[in-house]
Amino acid sequence: MSEDVKESTSKIAKLIGVLAGVSTWFLYYIIEGLIFLIIDTTFKIEDSNTVDSNTLENILIFIFLLGFFPSYFVGCLINYKWQGFTKRMKIFVVTVSLLLIIPFIPETYSQLKKLIPESGSTDDNFKKDERIRVYTTNDKNFRGRFIDWNDDFLVLEENRKEIKIPKDKIHYIQRGW
């Protein structure tokens, strides 16, 4: 029985080690991009004739591939130390690893943007009689059927009453309710 528990923990430790290693590589990639951006804006590499763009790309690829070694080291270290970590440390390692990987998953940004309402949404593609909820800047919310969206006001119908909400007071709009 204890061998099964140790083996499953070892598999979890290996998985978290790989996850931490990959996230370290992505962090390395982000830092490399920021350093290149600073160098490029400071020395105007694109405008100068001293460095060929292919040479620069080769250097960046080489540096990116060198990122494998610190990421492998971090992954092995996490795998080795996993049994000694407290529960909080384990949760912290997993959370940080996931937060570093999430931006590199395709379509993640667009999916997260759909979940988070924009402040001052100006989406005027509402259909007539579509149900919407409007949150205003003074912490009031209105819900009703969409009537009109003109230059100054959003017009809703709520309980057979027409409500005009000034555009500058709209915090965000939620479709449906």
DSSP string, 102-136: GGGSTTHHHHHHHHSPPTT-----PPTT-EEEEEE
d(CA 46, CA 50): 9
Phi/psi for 89 (5° steps) reads -65, -40
At 88 the pLDDT is 92
Rounded to two decimals, the pTM is 0.46
At 177 the pLDDT is 63
Sorted by where each starts, the structural domains of the chain and their CATH numbers stand as: 2-115 (no CATH), 131-175 (2.30.30.100)
pLDDT band at residue 31, thresholds of 50, 70 and 90? confident
